[in-house]
Structure 1
Amino acid sequence: MKRETILITAADLAPQALELLTGYDIVYAGKTPAEDDIIHLCRQHDPVAIIVRYSKVGAQAMDAAPSLKVISKHGSGTDTIDKEAAKSRGIEVVAAVGVNAAAVAEQALALLLACAKSIPQLDERMHQGHWDKSTHKSLELGARTIGLIGLGAIGLRFAKMADALGMRVIGFDPFAKNLPDYVQSVDLETLWRDSDAISLHCPLMDENRNLLNAETLARCKRGVIVVNTARGGLIEEAALLAAVQSGQVLAAGLDSFSVEPMVPDHPFRHQPGFILSPHIGGVTSDAYVNMGLSAARNALAVLSPAAVA
């Protein structure tokens, strides 16, 4: 009897996760699969499940896999999956919510500190033989206000770190409940007005696409720091570029972008005021295992619920 197939939209999955999937044939899409690659592999192998690490999974891929029952995200963000198409076809979409919260929150903190302390720039200057002690002034974060947009597992983890630095923590999240005492819930207008730094921790939806744009950035304090470890589509990139160049934004620490991988001629490259990382906030050795295990278990919960009960 032919075994059922699970498609992994990447070149690998944690060995611990693979152990859970020993009853299935595993097909990998490669390191940088395009959406057409996923469609082709679905047509070729008719998987019962797709574990999504990279690339988009849309209606065409779903139609190419008539046996598909579940799409399981290797992480928490499901914006690369056409959820409406999945729902109309009776395909469940599940996510590994919260398992990479520590990793992403730490990346956000690292980017915030790098922006405030000019760590990459000073490192480069030191390697070039310079000693800027008499001319450089960094920013002290204690007693300043950090505004968080999104107060889920990642946002709250980051809030705890910011509070430990002595920062005032304010946040906007219409779905958040039972916030800790050190997080003050505010509306967006207050957040734009009061924040010395803004960090994004919300999912990307039609309602918040380009949330940070020319208009909202203009409402912020001059010299605000912007950190994004969520989704690139939350920021209108041309507006952010202009705001950094004008000094309205002191620095931007970004781990996600509207188009990924970043194109070679992207205007953020070689631009002062930008500290960039390749969407690796959730990519640590620990998170790699935890997300793989969660994605595998979530898929199995749909495929064979008795096996994971």
Structure 2
Amino acid sequence: MTYKFLMTAPALGAAGRKVLADAGCELDYLQNANDFEEVEQLMSTRAYDAVISRTVTLSAKAIESCPSLKIICKHGVGVTNIDVAAATARGIPVLTTPATNAQSVAELAIGLMLSAARQLPFFQHEIAEGRWTRSSEGIELFGKTLGLVGYGEIGRRVAHIAKAIGMRAAFFDPAIPLGTDSTDAVQYASLQELLKNSNVLSLHCPVNKATEKMLNADTLAQLPDRAIVINTSRGELIDEPALAQALTDGKLAAAGLDTVAVEPLPLDHPFRQFSNIVMTPHIGGTTPEALDAVSRSAAQQCLDFLQQQRINARACVNPEIL
């Protein structure tokens, strides 16, 4: 049987394309990676069996307009762009591809931390403008404590790399029982305890009711003075006006952000005015190696379900439909 797939981006990694081609599947792409209306138009006019969802919104309207749809797999792990409730109402599993891009995201988190600590974009700009500005305001990270909110695949890799440059790593993760052995990081029993000890705080957790805007005016105030915040997870984890205020007041030294609440970042967003915010456009998992691994996992998981009704329950964000 020939299955029809929609990839909600202009491209899919070579490994994923091969999986689908070998199975004789048809594959459509978006022309515009950020156009949710194009997604809705395609899904209302074509009989897709599966959607591999990148970052553009996959709305309830799109899901409800495609009666043939049987499976959705996120190209990554964060599903805030997918209307999971609409999929659940139709009995459609929504899957993720855990751990497939963990190394690339971890490396970017470290890169943002180093760049923010030493103000690299500022100095690059100064040189580009013809100036030779020298400053002693950078932060040496050796001996500092890196706090990790979430200690899954990415958090563990970040801790391992940070340890190699002489940082102490600690984490808070309510999903991990207290006392669990960890070679690279110390476990704290509460977020508050982690915050007060973290010179650098790096977020590695999903967005849900408990974590949305978990970094806000109150929690940011608990960090040590001149701390650095890193976010390679989801922008919704941070109260953005509170972060901007903490940077303005000097409570925070810097921030490194690969993701924001609204993407692409609006042209009038206050973050654009801060020289001590290092930003990248949600590229944590977009190395060729990571894209290949994610695409292979997404394509294979969809085929496993379509061909054999086989599903990895750990990768399913709405297991109640199973």
TM class by smaller structure: over 0.9
- Render the CA deviation track for 1:11-58: whole Å, top value 9, x for unaligned: 111232112112222111223243332222111112110000121223
Corresponding position: 1:151 with 2:151: yes
Give the C-alpha shift of residue 139 in structure 1: 1.1
- Render the CA deviation track for 1:96-149: whole Å, top value 9, x for unaligned: 11010000000000000011111121222233343444x423211111111100
Give the C-alpha shift of residue 164 in structure 1: 1.2
Corresponding position: 1:110 with 2:111: yes
- Render the CA deviation track for 1:259-298: whole Å, top value 9, x for unaligned: 0011111111132211111000111011111111111011
Name the structure 1 match of 2:182: 180
Displaced runs of 4+ in structure 1, greater than 3 A? 127-133
Does 173-182 or 270-279 show the bigger shift?
173-182
CA contact 2:156–2:184 (8 Å) conserved in 1 = no
Q: 1:89 to 1:227 in 2, by over 3 A?
A: same
Give the C-alpha shift of residue 5 in structure 1: 1.4
Question: Could you tell me how far apart the structure 1 residues matched to 2:144 and 2:187 are?
Answer: 16
Q: 1:157 to 1:211 in 2, by over 3 A?
A: same
Does 194-203 or 75-84 show the bigger shift?
75-84
Q: 1:127 to 1:38 in 2, by over 3 A?
A: closer
Q: 2:199 aligns with which of 188, 196, 199?
A: 196
Q: 1:145 to 1:29 in 2, by over 3 A?
A: same
Matched residue SS, 1:208: coil
CA contact 2:258–2:284 (8 Å) conserved in 1 = yes
Give the C-alpha shift of residue 306 in structure 1: 8.4
What percent of counterpart residues are identical? 37
Q: How does 1:272-287 map to 2 (within 5 A)?
A: 272-287=275-290
Question: Could you tell me how far apart the structure 2 residues matched to 1:199 and 1:65 are?
Answer: 39
Amino acid in the other structure paired with 1:162: A
Question: Could you tell me how far apart the structure 2 residues matched to 1:156 and 1:121 are?
Answer: 30
Please report the TM-score for the alignment, with normalisation by the length of structure 2: 0.90
Name the structure 1 match of 2:41: 40
Q: How does 1:1-309 map to 2 (within 5 A)?
A: 3-22=2-21, 23-133=24-134, 135-176=135-176, 178-186=180-188, 187-305=190-308
Does 183-192 or 96-105 show the bigger shift?
183-192
CA contact 2:144–2:199 (8 Å) conserved in 1 = yes
CA RMSD of aligned residues (A): 1.9
CA contact 2:87–2:93 (8 Å) conserved in 1 = yes
- Render the CA deviation track for 1:151-193: whole Å, top value 9, x for unaligned: 1111111011111121111111111354423311111111111
CA contact 1:152–1:176 (8 Å) conserved in 2 = no
Task: List alignment gaps of at least 5 residues for structure 1.
Answer: none
Give the C-alpha shift of residue 219 in structure 1: 1.5
In the alignment of these two chains, the number of paired residues is 307
Give the C-alpha shift of residue 6 in structure 1: 0.7
CA contact 1:62–1:68 (8 Å) conserved in 2 = yes
Give the C-alpha shift of residue 244 in structure 1: 0.3
Give the C-alpha shift of residue 307 in structure 1: 10
Q: 1:29 to 1:129 in 2, by over 3 A?
A: closer
Question: Could you tell me how far apart the structure 1 residues matched to 2:34 and 2:256 are?
Answer: 27
Matched residue SS, 2:73: strand
Please report the TM-score for the alignment, with normalisation by the length of structure 1: 0.94
Give the C-alpha shift of residue 62 in structure 1: 1.7
Question: Could you tell me how far apart the structure 1 residues matched to 2:310 and 2:96 are?
Answer: 19
- Render the CA deviation track for 1:62-102: whole Å, top value 9, x for unaligned: 21111111101111212222223222211111111101000
- Render the CA deviation track for 1:227-261: whole Å, top value 9, x for unaligned: 00000000011110111011001001100000001
Does 89-98 or 53-62 show the bigger shift?
53-62
Q: 1:9 to 1:119 in 2, by over 3 A?
A: same
Give the C-alpha shift of residue 202 in structure 1: 0.6
Q: 1:118 to 1:300 in 2, by over 3 A?
A: same
